[in-house]
Every structure is written in structure tokens, then in C-alpha cells.
Amino acid sequence: MSFEVDVSKALGDRMIEARFAVPGGLTVLRGVSGAGKTSVLNMIAGLLTPDRGHVVVNGQPLFDAAQGANLPVHRRRLGYVFQDGRLFPHLRVRANLLYGYRLAQPEERWMTLDEVVAFLGIAPLLDRWPRSLSGGEAQRVALGRALLSGARALLLDEPLASIDPARRSDIIDAILRIRDELKLPMLYVTHDPAEAERLGNQLVTIGS
């Protein structure tokens, strides 16, 4: 699995640009605050349309301005884990997880609910409401929902930023297991150099 990204987008008085090609593993996107790291993830995910350029994942064009191609978000098979988890507050944890599963086409599903629950150690959380979860618990559920969506790669936007430092190790361990055991490619935004050093197989600087 590889990512080939060459995009630019004018946002107000800023020009967000990124150009990189990386293989699988975990790629850290770093840069100063305001460089546009989250905007780049959003362009890859299809939540934001670039003004020019292209996004290719594993040889498949997801966006190509010159060709007029722009694959819908739900067909890109990219799991997105946001800084705040963004679980559905009106659904219990089990239903949040199954929401991702039901989004996927049957032939695209590669993990079952039971497998994800065991992998992330979230069985005790299944009947709880999102509002009762700690930041770390919510992010583990968000990771599970992304895995169950049939994702072929993950986009993670500072997933540790809203978690108490003492509890971050659980999420780091889960991300490392996804990287090393599931071999799922990831693009990972962080401001933390130590986090980038521990998790990243390669680093890409945005806004340099």
C-alpha cells in the first residue's frame, strides 16, 4: 500500500500544499501550527477538494484535478480517527462500532466485531455511552470503528492530543499493534517529536 499525494488548496489567505510519496507503514506528517496538516488529511479523505493535483492510494486515483476525478468519501476506504474521537453520542459503544461495519461492503470487511473488540481490549466498554468514556477509551473505540469500516489505510489527526499524558501509552500500544500486526498503512499528524520518533516509519514535513 502506498500513498502518492501532490495537492494544493487556497484557504482564505493561506495556500496549503503537500507533495510526497510514501510506502506502507506509519508516516508522520509534521509541521508548524497552521501549516495545514489537518487540511492535507482532509484532502486525502475527500472531505476537502484540492484546487489542483492528485491523490493516489495503492495505484488507485482518488482525486485527479486534470482528469476531473474525485472519488466520494465512502468509496475511498480510508478510516479517519479525529482528535476528539467523534463518537455518536446517541449510540452505545457497540452500536458505534457496528456503524463502521455496516458502512463497509461485505467483500471489503476484513475484521469482525469480535476480532476488533479482542484486539483493542474494549469488551468492558460495549454497553457504555460515549459520554461515560475517558479520552483514551473513546479513542480506542474510534480506532475500532475505523477498522470495522473495511479501511485499507488509516488517517489519524493528533489522536493523543486530548488524552491525559498518563493514559496515552494504551493508545500508542494500540497504534503500534495496528502498524506491526495488522500491517495497516497510516498517515499520522502530530506536533510531538517524541511521538513522531516512536511511531513513525517515515516523516513528511508539511509547509516547509
Domain ranges of the chain: 3-205
Tell me: domain 3-205, CATH 3.40.50.300, correct? yes
Q: Which amino acid is at 173?
A: D
Residue 17: strand pairing partners: 8
Structural contact between residues 185 and 3, judged by C-beta atoms closer than 8 angstroms: yes
- The model's confidence at residue 34, banded by pLDDT at 50, 70 and 90, is confident
> What pLDDT, in 10s, does the model give residues 55-72?
999 889 999 999 999 999
Q: What was the pLDDT predicted at 154?
A: 95
Q: Quick one: average pLDDT of 2-11?
A: 93
77 close to 29: Cβ distance less than 8 angstroms: no
The predicted model scores a pTM of 0.91
Tell me if 76 sits within 8 A of 47, measured CB to CB. no
pLDDT tens profile 67-92: 999 999 988 999 999 888 789 999 99
pLDDT at 165: 81
The answer to whether 14 and 31 have CB atoms below 8 angstroms apart is: no
**Which one, of 80, 75, 82, lies nearest residue 103 by Cα?**
75
- Asked if residues 171 and 159 have their Cβ atoms less than 8 Å apart, the reply is yes
**CA–CA separation, 162 vs 207, rounded Å?**
24
